[in-house]
Amino acid sequence: MADNLSEPFEKSAMTQEDQRKNREEQRIQYIAFAFMIVLTLLAFIAVGADLLPAAFAVSFIIVLAVIQMFLQLYYFMHLREKDHGWANTFMVTGLFLVIPTIVALMLLIGVVKY
C-alpha cells in the first residue's frame, strides 16, 4: 500500500463546491494584489512627480497607506473570513483606544493650549 503513496491522485479530494470557492478566492487575491500594486505606484507617483503640493501629497499617501493596511489585513491575512472574530475584535479595540489617545497626545503637547 505504501508503494503508491507518491503517485498523484487522479481526482482531487475536494468537492466541486470547494474547488469553485478556491478559484473564487484565488481570483480575489489576484485582484487585491493588483490593486495594492496600483496603490503603491500611485504613492510613488504622488511623491516622485513633484506635481502635487507637499501637504496634499503627504495626506494623500497616508490615506493610501490606511487603505493598504486594511487590504493587507482583511484580504491577505484572511481577517475577513469567519472564525477570526476575536482577532478582529482585539484589533478594532486597539485602534479604538489608540487613535483617540495619539490624537489627544499630539494636540496636548503642542505649543497651543486648548
Partner 1 sequence: MAIIFRIQLMYPESTILSGQTYNEFITMHGTIMLFLAATPLLFAFMNYMIPLQIGARDVAFPFLNALGFWFFFFGGLLLSLSWFFGGGPDAGWTAYVPLSSRDYAGIGLDFYVLGLQISGLGTLISGINFIVTMITMRAPGMTMLRMPLFCWTSFVTSMLIVFAFTPLAAGLALLMLDRMFGGQFFIPSEGGNVVIWPHIFWIFGHPEVYILVLPAFGMISEIIPVFSKKRLFGYTAMVFATIIIGFLGFMVWVHHMFTLNLGPITNSIFALATMIIGIPTGIKIFNWLFTMWGGKLWFTTAMLCASSFVPTFVLGGVTGVMLAMAPVTHLYHDTYFVVAHFHYIILGGIVLGLLGATFYWYPKMFGHCLNETLGKIMFWIFYVGFHLTFFVQHILGLIGMPRRVNVYLADQGWDGMNLISSIGSYMQGVAIIILLINVVYSAIKAPDKPVNDPWDGRTLEWATHTPVPEYNFAQTPQVRSLDPLFYEKVHGDGTMKPAEPIGDVHMPNGSFYPFLIALGSFIVGFGLIMLHMDAWINPYIVVGIGAVLMFGSMAMHSWKEDHGYYITKENIEAMEQEALADERNR
Residues near partner 1 (CB under 8 A): 86, 90, 93-94, 96-98, 100-101, 104-105, 107-109, 113-114
Cβ proximity to partner 1, 9 vs 86, nearer residue: 86
Question: Cell 504622488 identifies what position?
Answer: 46
Cβ proximity to partner 1, 29 vs 93, nearer residue: 93
CB of residue 54 to partner 1, shortest distance in Å: 23
CB of residue 98 to partner 1, shortest distance in Å: 8
- Distances, alpha carbon 106 to alpha carbons 38, 68, 100, 109, 113, in Å: 32, 24, 10, 6, 12
CB of residue 85 to partner 1, shortest distance in Å: 10
Q: Which is nearest to 32 in space by CA: 77, 63, 62? A: 77
Measured in whole angstroms, how far is the alpha carbon of residue 42 from the centre of its chain?
16
Cα angle 108-61-59, degrees, rounded to a multiple of 5: 40
Cβ proximity to partner 1, 13 vs 106, nearer residue: 106
